[in-house]
Chain A
Amino acid sequence: QKEVEQNSGPLSVPEGAIASLNCTYSDRGSQSFFWYRQYSGKSPELIMSIYSNGDKEDGRFTAQLNKASQYVSLLIRDSQPSDSATYLCAVYSGTYKYIFGTGTRLKVLA
């Protein structure tokens, strides 16, 4: 079983719609959870971090965490073509290690 799992996509949504990206993780002791956006050929850019159960909103982005279900999600409201990228879920174990998923490719169709 992979430690952090994401659907590779592509996830295609029309412009203006809500994009929903999901991630599951295997280590119940994980403490911190992050979403990165990565454009083709570029490095990952941190867009959201979440540490406790529930929702955290930042602009058009909402991160959701459910530790009991070992599930993290990212919602992007009013999706724009510029949101088209790969979104990486990362989990911090609490020691030193960050485990990354393979990413979900999002396509926002104009």
Chain B
Amino acid sequence: DTGVSQDPRHKITKRGQNVTFRCDPISEHNRLYWYRQTLGQGPEFLTYFQNEAQLEKSRLLSDRFSAERPKGSFSTLEIQRTEQGDSAMYLCASSLQGGLAGNNEQFFGPGTRLTVL
């Protein structure tokens, strides 16, 4: 399977706990994105990486959220001191910037559904 993978697929945690999610992008893609999606909404941008550099972070993202992409390969998203409002689907996506002319297709992983009790 050469698509985007995410782990875990589901996470249930208690309020105040820390959680970490992993994303493995499509191997030749240099851009990796994290989104959050709640019911009835489109994916909401959280942050993105170009190779190993985190180039943009949403202003909506609190300091409890941090993301890394060591060596430009897989990425992790950590949420510290989770709150019930963090319950959502966390989506990872990857794309190749600078590929075929006009091709900026972005592909999503299966997502991690977080439930904070």
- Interface of A toward B, CB cutoff 8 Å: 4, 8, 31-32, 34, 36, 41-46, 49, 51-52, 88, 90, 92, 96-103
Contact = CB atoms under 8 A, between A and B. Distances in A.
B60 interface: no
A42 B89 CA distance: 9
Given A96-B48, A96-B55, A101-B42, A49 B89 contact: no
Given A42-B110, A49-B105, A96 B40 contact: no
A45 B40 contact: no
A46 B107 contact: yes
B40 A43 contact: no
B105 A34 contact: yes
Given A43-B109, A43-B111, A96-B50, A88 B42 contact: yes
Sorting the interface of chain B by its residue count into under 10, 10 to 19, 20 to 34 or 35 or more gives 20 to 34
B108 interface: yes
A44 B56 contact: no
Given A43-B110, A96-B56, A101-B42, 5 more contacts: A43-B109, A51-B102, A92-B104, A100-B44, A102-B41
Contacts of B31: 96
Interface string B71-104: 0000000000000000001010000010000111
B28 to A, nearest CB: 16
